[in-house]
Structure 1
């Protein structure tokens, strides 16, 4: 996701910026979907998730 945001910020034109930003948004949405699924199935807890996110 970070790479897509960086790529959008360095776009050659407005259309490329909009397109790449949209792709980055979709990737963020998908990541949130998987995190929610992991939480719902109790594969990961909120506490574990917060700890893992702090590592990055």
Structure 2
């Protein structure tokens, strides 16, 4: 399971786990967020897993 590790001053959230990690970036206006997920079979070699885009509707 990935756990939140950091939120930097630019609003980038970093989640890490033994076999997965993610970076979530919120746009400055707060209307969209991009997520990039990677996974690893061994915790050392990382490969792209998912790229997601979120849009606020309300």
TM-score, normalisation: structure 1:
0.21
Structure 1 or 2: more helix by fraction: 1
TM-score, normalisation: structure 2:
0.21
Structure 1 or 2: more strand by fraction: 2
